[in-house]
Structure 1
């Protein structure tokens, strides 16, 4: 028998009130969350809790439907290399979300599982059900009311349902996979989130009091962040910044997909690039086209980036660069 379940996470503000959920059917699902967290943290926790909730039936195959390529790639592609390097990336820096990833690694042992990527918000019944419950949990924490936790998995020990309370928000992003999980507690951790280094007091203010920056200003700041080697070499952050359907036509004419770009940047994040904004044009309510000139040792390049609003956050959907004569 194969257990098929969707796992999803949600964060209102990212970081902000956060939720997670996994869903098999209306009689078999669980959800939870925290007052402050990130979408990626919720994605990881949904998968972790699913493994814990099914630890009492290790002989059953798990088929996990997930719209987070970061989660899938972290477990099936990147984790072995991170472990060999002492949970450090190719540039020697610590892996983000390391405590959650270590816990997942422990839970995978001995389990039979496969991950299947599904496009989020595309009408997939199980994914939509998990997303709805994760968002409801996040909304409950935002409103200060009790969140519905769900019936859980039949026969699961109570301990498997316990989720950690994070000390702060954490980032991540992702691709496709296979895995396993068991019970156990998670240590709290304290790592920077995507927005923690953005300039301006408005980002440090509380959700209820801060003034929302204009989309053009947000997009310009995120583009500048993406041009920094520290961010480019961090698959967690690039996974948050790049849209799942991201594509780039490079100056050499090569076409890059999201996964190929994330892997290439982790291995060689390059030098810091400065930019001169030429234009920031709003495309409806959910798009901004940013054009700029970048400066590096190799010369100047004219670039255009299309940012779209996806699930409440701005993500880079398309990029193209042309060396300037």
Structure 2
């Protein structure tokens, strides 16, 4: 299902609209990261970094699309599955600029150099529309594929395909007029709040452990597990970190994560209680996440089948 996002720009009567999708990906978040935008088979671009966050990828995909279509006379409709990116550009940015690129609590805006570049690249004939990720939206699926492929390329130590870009524009790629910095892990939140809580970050990381993209690479999974990680599984089996990494693979069937409760047990400890549902039934699960430095890692996991 596609849900509209209200933004100031409106379609102009009698003017054609170009539709595109922009997406980002980060393996480990932060980790090898990529971005991509897609119009059609002849107009697309991708890039990324050896280390970045999902939010950086989402924002940079939009930025590169805006920069490459800067001379476009048509209206531009951009599909994004990140409300963080859409809200940053269409709602929060004016307030941040007024406060010297600081948030309401006085803290610096994350990814501020990308935000400033986006502010300079925005124009009245650009609109945004939110789409649910991995839900069959054609353009979004292509942008997701490009972003993930770029992240996978950097994980493998090679440059991703830059793509043909937009006809008449400068070639696409990962070079932009800003310096990328990674201050802390950032979750790709479907939240309407400017603030990103530790609990929300942890829940987003918990969801990422269910994704095929992450589970396909044990090295990426290892980045989210504490060195002392242990699990008591559905069968009652005790499993170590090494055992899990030797067995990890994409799930046989999709699992829906329903958060039951989150509890902060200390400044750097968050407990997530959640229900995993799939064709095989439902399971109550608890995960203990510990922050080491600036990175949240899962320390312990337990699963109990529901009757």
Interval containing the TM-score (normalised by the shorter chain): 0.5 to 0.7
CA shift, 1:212, in A, is 2.6
CA shift, 1:118, in A, is 0.2
CA shift, 1:290, in A, is 4.4
Whether the aligned pair in 1 keeps the contact of 2:24 and 2:55 (CA below 8 Å) is: yes
Deviating 4+ runs (over 6 angstroms): 245-249, 275-279, 284-288
Tell me the equivalent position of 1:127: 140
Equivalent residue pairs, number: 218
CA shift, 1:209, in A, is 7.4
Task: Select the structure that is richer in helix.
Answer: 1
Give the one of 58, 69, 78 matched to 1:54: 69
Whether the aligned pair in 2 keeps the contact of 1:72 and 1:175 (CA below 8 Å) is: no
Tell me the equivalent position of 2:106: 92
Once the two structures are superposed, residues 88-135 of structure 1 have per-residue CA deviations (whole angstroms, 9 ceiling, x without a partner) of: 111111111111111111111x44111000000111111000000110
What is the alpha-carbon distance in structure 2 between the residues aligned to residue 134 and residue 212 of structure 1? 24
What's the TM-score once normalised by structure 1's chain length? 0.56
What is the alpha-carbon distance in structure 2 between the residues aligned to residue 7 and residue 151 of structure 1? 15
CA shift, 1:166, in A, is 2.5
CA shift, 1:176, in A, is 10
Give the one of 17, 31, 45 matched to 1:2: 17
Whether the aligned pair in 2 keeps the contact of 1:280 and 1:288 (CA below 8 Å) is: yes
Whether the aligned pair in 2 keeps the contact of 1:5 and 1:22 (CA below 8 Å) is: yes
What is the alpha-carbon distance in structure 1 between the residues aligned to residue 148 and residue 286 of structure 2? 30
1:81-160 maps to which residues of 2 (within 5 A)? 81-108=95-122, 110-158=123-171
Once the two structures are superposed, residues 71-102 of structure 1 have per-residue CA deviations (whole angstroms, 9 ceiling, x without a partner) of: 00111111111111221111111111111111
Q: How large is the Cα RMSD of the aligned pairs?
A: 4.1
Whether the aligned pair in 2 keeps the contact of 1:72 and 1:174 (CA below 8 Å) is: no
What is the alpha-carbon distance in structure 2 between the residues aligned to residue 248 and residue 75 of structure 1? 32
Tell me the equivalent position of 2:8: none
SS at match of 1:63: strand
SS at match of 1:152: coil
SS at match of 2:163: coil
Once the two structures are superposed, residues 136-168 of structure 1 have per-residue CA deviations (whole angstroms, 9 ceiling, x without a partner) of: 011011111231111110111348873466243
SS at match of 1:35: strand
What's the TM-score once normalised by structure 2's chain length? 0.59
Whether the aligned pair in 2 keeps the contact of 1:216 and 1:282 (CA below 8 Å) is: no
